[in-house]
Amino acid sequence: MSKKYANILFDLDGTLTDSADGVTRSVQYALKMYNINTTTDELKPFIGPPLHYSFQEIYSFSEAEAYRAVEFYRDYYRDRGIYENRLYPGIAEMLIKLQQKGMQLFVATSKPTVFARRVLEHFGIDRYFKLITGSNLDGSRVQKAEVIEAVINEAGGLEPETTVMVGDREHDIFGARAHNLYSIAVSYGYGPLEELLAAKPSAIVHSVRELAETL
């Protein structure tokens, strides 16, 4: 795919950072509050989608239970889980090159904005992004289409024909499509390849190097 992009929206977990340990341990901590014991390997489907939906879909929690579970999750995540995380190799170098080429970079994540900022600041890459936009702590703006809409509005409007969303789950692809944006799915994250293929992104890449070359 040869395409000139001026604006690039990145998902965070599974796209820029490998956050599996922190997210799954935080979920595991929350589930223990409900006397549910599980391994972290079983909890990887929680990475990416809005948390309260995952608690409802995977463990059949009521809406009230799910929101309470998110609070337990944050008890662990805000001081410990947030740092059980790492940048994928090559991400920082890619961001530098994209910025040098004059591209506008954004983060569009379902993670609360306050946590997303802390993660990016921790790794020293927050300065490469014009906007860092996520969900709200009150549980609003968790759908990826809503987050993308907020980025577009805060940026003063982005031309769809020169804007792309990069992410590792179907939610990223569907969110991009809702705003007529191009989408690039990364298979090195947490979304199963069959999920990404079914979502029909504009392109699929399998490594950070391939992503950099495509962008």
d(CA 92, CA 101): 14
Q: What is the pLDDT of residue 54?
A: 94
Instruction: Tell me the domain boundaries of the chain.
Output: 7-18+87-214, 20-83
Encoded tokens for 109: 């994540």
Q: What is the pLDDT of residue 2?
A: 54
Q: How many CA atoms does the CB half-sphere of 110 hold within 13 Å?
A: 25
**Quick one: fold of 20-83?**
DNA polymerase; domain 1 (1.10.150)
pTM of the predicted structure, to 2 decimals: 0.91
Q: What is the pLDDT of residue 1?
A: 47
Average confidence (pLDDT) per 10 residues, the chain, 215 residues: 84 96 96 96 88 94 96 95 96 97 96 96 97 94 96 95 97 98 97 96 98 96
Respond yes or no: is residue 11 known to be catalytic: yes
How many Å is the maximal CA-CA distance in the chain? 52
* Residue listed under structure tokens 């490469």: 128
Spot the catalytic one: 11, 13, 168, 172.
Answer: 11
CATH number among 3.10.20.30, 3.40.50.20, 1.10.287.130, 3.40.50.1000, domain 7-18+87-214: 3.40.50.1000
